Homo-oligomer: A and B are copies of this chain.
């Protein structure tokens, strides 16, 4: 009696376990485990009875315990900075959806700065994550080696890895192609003095967009008239425009490495130089952020297919070839030009809105 009472008191503090269900359904604990494992060998009638008993006592398998011996946690680590940046916010949302569609869940680490990535990644790794998605942060060679040792697939989204050490799989927008699209557009609209506004130097996204742009211009017989750096921010765009538009040979078009800087350029052009967009200056951005569609801007921009990006990242995770090795696989998602009104339109084209 006393023993029973003590037992009851202890039970009350514990979770409902598979043993409770087994007792309730009159089967062994192994049968309960099998009832919750899709392909397992259980008689349909037994499974039904067990599931009913489980529902009655409010049982759900403990994912932690399950992970411990299946060696699959169902968790994917995600390292990301500046979620407040609309592009990364959309990416995270799409990534979450893509993971959930496969029964996975993202364990998110917000990196205050790129240096913090290593510690966070180590923390994520201690949860035996089934994979890691690193967005907007460098991957140090040290941590990459650890992932390789743990046989944990790593996917970099829109970033290139540290040159040294094992390479990780890479998923990203086709920045080169996007840059070329803009070059073609500006050339077709008859611009002659195109400028480029970079984000942060030595960033793969900014670099690739620039290379694609200049290559595209060259193919059309044009050269870059000016170049500035705007740190990927609105304020940076304002400042860069100040320098860019004060030049004697003012550019007649600016391609910005992201939308936020493009909005800054437009505002500076209007308020500080009294220019009309796009009559006096064409401005093109990158990302197709929500603000780009606002009536006051109607920014022509290059849209990334965020959903496809997320799908590819998850697919790369499941592909064993994604685990760090010598030859790093790459997935490149095509970009799409969104024609609005911040850039002069070539003959015969119509804006999206």
Using CB atoms and an 8 Å cutoff, list the residues of chain A in contact with chain B: 15, 58, 60-65, 67-68, 73, 75, 82-84, 86, 89-90, 92-93, 96-97, 100, 105-110, 112, 120, 122-128, 146, 149-150, 234, 263, 267, 270-271, 290-291, 293-297
- Of B62, B92, B125, B267, which contacts A295 at CB under 8 A? B267
Chain B CB within 10 Å — which of A90, A124, A146, A296 has the most? A296
- Answer whether A93 and B100 are a contact pair too, CB < 8 Å, given A58-B146, A60-B125, A64-B128: no
Q: Which of B83, B86, B97, B294 contacts A93 (CB 8 A)?
A: B83
Q: Could you say which residues of chain B place their CB within 8 Å of the CB of A61?
A: 126
Task: Report the bound CA distance from A62 to B64 in whole Å.
Answer: 11
Q: Which residues of B sit under 8 angstroms from A112, Cβ to Cβ?
A: 97
Contact A64 B60 (CB under 8 A): no
Number of copies of this chain in the oligomer?
2
B107 pairs with A62, CB closer than 8 A: no
The answer to whether B294 touches A126 (Cβ under 8 A) is no
- A105 and B124 form a contact (CB under 8 A): yes
B295–A294 CB distance below 8 A: no
Residues of B within 8 A of A123 (CB): 105
Q: Complex Cα distance A90/B58, Å?
A: 36
A-B contact pairs, 19 of them (CB 8 A): A58-B149, A60-B122, A60-B126, A63-B127, A83-B83, A84-B93, A84-B290, A89-B89, A96-B109, A96-B110, A97-B110, A100-B120, A106-B108, A107-B107, A263-B294, A271-B295, A291-B291, A291-B294, A296-B296
B64 in contact with A127 (CB, 8 Å): yes
Contacts of A120 in B (CB 8 A): 100
* Nearest-Cβ distance from residue A165 to partner chain B, whole angstroms: 15
Q: How far is the CB of A34 from chain B (nearest CB, A)?
A: 18
B105, A63: Cβ atoms closer than 8 Å: no
